[in-house]
Structure 1
């Protein structure tokens, strides 16, 4: 066993993903002696290495490829694009490498130690790291658990490299499959399904529920499904997958109606299992500090605290399982450890689906407001009436603003359209300050921009929308 430092750390973070590395950097900025335990060869966790970042690299590249193949001629640009999948994968990895190296630089800049290896709790104030240099136990005043999540397996479905894959495998297929079956109509499944459809695959999405994107406003979800269907994605909703079998022709899936009925077999060259993610807590030594996950594997917390000197952030605790939520948790948690105030309003954490068009939302859906008995008004504006969207031939979708019927305070904003993920930030700011739909409606927006659609939707709450 190697020797540990004699002086204890102020905080050790277990996990180097968006929650972990942001916690470590903030701790260093506040003058705390900090270390981050990460077992991967690179920092950044799932998000930077095999999640958010590589998927966005492929979404961007595949969107340009499809535009060049389908749309450029109508704009007066004659080209004959040819797919070079190896180069597309190489540029993806180059981007990822640059980002992970950037985190290493920030660790050094803020005097954060990277403890390479697998970390676990070893009683109060102790973290043991099994790494390339042996096993070392470190003393620390605080531990932050930021171990994130992993793909949820599906009973009856066994993964097989290149045939039955999770999101990580779908990011590095060696060739474009003729047919891809996606199990799960959530954000990950629809994004990766979109990538491979653009590159030439026939994509079928199988979903247990009778709708896509659970958690999204149903009005927007229905419109979103129509757009994706028009693009060529096939949907089998209300359908349960009971098993898979790899055969010479590809992969056979046994499916049946979710509410009961006769089984049938679907066949695809590749199957992507994307039914969600679950907290990663295996082998963390939680029992040594008296912490037990709940029935779903999450670690419940009291303002990020789960035991004396033990804190938790990101996907491993409750709240949206999103990288930017983990980042917010990280800053708030470290500031609490440093004796400052730290808080995250999960109602103001936006969600984005990075397809084309994008879908983005923050706050309450109409279904949630109705279920809670909250009286509200809605304003809605289509991108087909937005000048910039018309000029760019990007007219699918709409913006919708939901506001309290009595106070006019904005309760939710939902955008299906080009660059929706960029525009939703405006809604987050207005809502964070308790703004009303009239505040947004009377704020001058540049013309012509897509953002005017959001303003027009806010104007529509009181019925004074002006068409482009």
Structure 2
């Protein structure tokens, strides 16, 4: 049995960053990763980086070859190749950065608990046992596959990561699930020239967003030719000579409908990846959703076992996984003051075209809580930079406290929203009032100067 100061299960953002930190401090570290295609975690291999690469390529494709499917299909194939080269580079880089450290050992195999301090790793050449003083679980999340007749038998059903490896552009992509992942793929494939149909089981489009924002997004997506069906429950899938047929029903009255396509994307959410970890052998508790239970310092129900990233439930963002690392670093080596309660509110971005970004509370939430506030709205087209970019779609919205002028929430649906939201986030986190952004000097012409107008209330 080999002994380590730390064992990290999963090669994700938090895990790899923590491994480097512990290595720098002289710890003997073992990293256990089940797949040699996942060094670095989901983000550089099957999520953030490849999808955002293709989002950009799709925007270029739409500008160059709009309504010319053969040319767009060729550009899509080339884009998949570029994406694959990028992910391969990042994967190898992540591996080499840690493998060259003398006090870090990477085991490519499946890890599971034997006891609270011992991990069994199944390697191609056999099993090995590792003992660790501190153990960190960073196994991420996995797609939720709904129970639909024929889904397992179909050759045309894909998860998001599998679809990213499809080198032939679908003529018609059917997406089951209208959440943020589904919307990103819908926008991306519509940009490449695919016909896209979204089937959402709920009766609200983008239920987390205010209705004016959701309606604006829906209008833009439909203008791009994306069909959106609400109250749509998928019933069965069967392959045909030409592709695949999906049968769905209207939740409200049970009326059946049919849609034919080339590919079906399952985008019905993700769940913590705990399968095979044998957590019960270590005494690590999980909640009703299968997420590992942690306290505010990210310790599990076993004090020397920690959980980081998606596996502990909650919002699934790479940058939160990185912040999990910061919390653990502070708990191990700092003043132990940092915890998950320190980071709210957290901004997020949805990489549709144009992108959507949000921080804080919505207007609907502010009303429910009885706050005294004012709302500022700004059409994206009012920002001169959108004219130079030829991206005038969208709107900006802010919720401002009437008593102290503090920014309570902000939603940006416009070009560069994923960047601009970080400016608003810094203003909120540093306690600035709306006048700070109203009077701030921004470069011109830029999208960020739209904040001058948005907060001029």
Q: In the alignment, which of 114, 133, 154 is matched to residue 106 of structure 2?
A: 114
Which residue does 1:144 correspond to in 2? 136
Which residue does 2:299 correspond to in 1? 305
Q: Give 1:397-436 correspondences, 5 Å limit.
A: 397-436=394-433
Tell me the CA shift for residue 247 of structure 1. Answer: 2.2
Which residue does 1:384 correspond to in 2? 381
Q: In the alignment, which of 49, 52, 55 is matched to residue 51 of structure 2?
A: 55
Tell me the CA shift for residue 109 of structure 1. Answer: 6.4
Per-residue CA deviation, residues 47-68 of structure 1 (Å, 9 max, x unaligned), is 2212221111211112111111
8 Å CA contact retained: 1:381, 1:399:
yes
Q: Give 1:218-257 correspondences, 5 Å limit.
A: 218-257=211-250
* Distance of 1:46 and 1:108 partners within structure 2: 19
Tell me the CA shift for residue 455 of structure 1. Answer: 2.9
Q: In the alignment, which of 349, 357, 361 is matched to residue 352 of structure 1?
A: 349
Structure 2 portions without partners, runs of 5+? none
8 Å CA contact retained: 1:163, 1:270:
yes
8 Å CA contact retained: 1:184, 1:273:
yes
Q: Give 1:204-283 correspondences, 5 Å limit.
A: 204-283=197-276
Tell me the CA shift for residue 449 of structure 1. Answer: 0.5
Structure 1 residues 249 and 120: CA distance shift in structure 2, 3 A:
same
Per-residue CA deviation, residues 115-143 of structure 1 (Å, 9 max, x unaligned), is 22111122122222112342111111111
Name the TM-score, length of structure 1 as normaliser.
0.90
Structure 1 portions without partners, runs of 5+? 72-79, 464-468
Structure 1 residues 430 and 446: CA distance shift in structure 2, 3 A:
same
Q: Secondary structure at the match of 2:63?
A: helix
Tell me the CA shift for residue 219 of structure 1. Answer: 2.4
Which residue does 1:37 correspond to in 2? 32
Q: Secondary structure at the match of 2:358?
A: strand
Bigger shift: residues 171-180 or 21-30: 21-30
* Distance of 1:32 and 1:407 partners within structure 2: 48
Per-residue CA deviation, residues 194-219 of structure 1 (Å, 9 max, x unaligned), is 22222222111110112333423332
Per-residue CA deviation, residues 409-433 of structure 1 (Å, 9 max, x unaligned), is 2221210011111111111211221
Query: Is residue 128 from structure 1 mapped to residue 123 from structure 2 by the alignment?
Result: no
* Distance of 2:30 and 2:247 partners within structure 1: 48
Structure 1 residues 161 and 101: CA distance shift in structure 2, 3 A:
farther
Query: Is residue 333 from structure 1 mapped to residue 328 from structure 2 by the alignment?
Result: yes
Q: Secondary structure at the match of 2:20?
A: helix
Name the TM-score, length of structure 2 as normaliser.
0.92
Per-residue CA deviation, residues 449-468 of structure 1 (Å, 9 max, x unaligned), is 10011232122xxx2xxxxx
Per-residue CA deviation, residues 302-350 of structure 1 (Å, 9 max, x unaligned), is 1211112111111111321112111111221233133543323453322
Q: Secondary structure at the match of 1:173?
A: coil
Aligned-CA RMSD value = 2.1
8 Å CA contact retained: 1:36, 1:114:
yes
8 Å CA contact retained: 2:73, 2:192:
no
Query: Is residue 375 from structure 1 mapped to residue 372 from structure 2 by the alignment?
Result: yes
Structure 1 residues 108 and 435: CA distance shift in structure 2, 3 A:
farther
Number of equivalent positions: 447
8 Å CA contact retained: 1:155, 1:243:
no
Q: Secondary structure at the match of 2:4?
A: coil
Q: In the alignment, which of 66, 73, 95 is matched to residue 104 of structure 1?
A: 95
* Distance of 2:75 and 2:153 partners within structure 1: 25
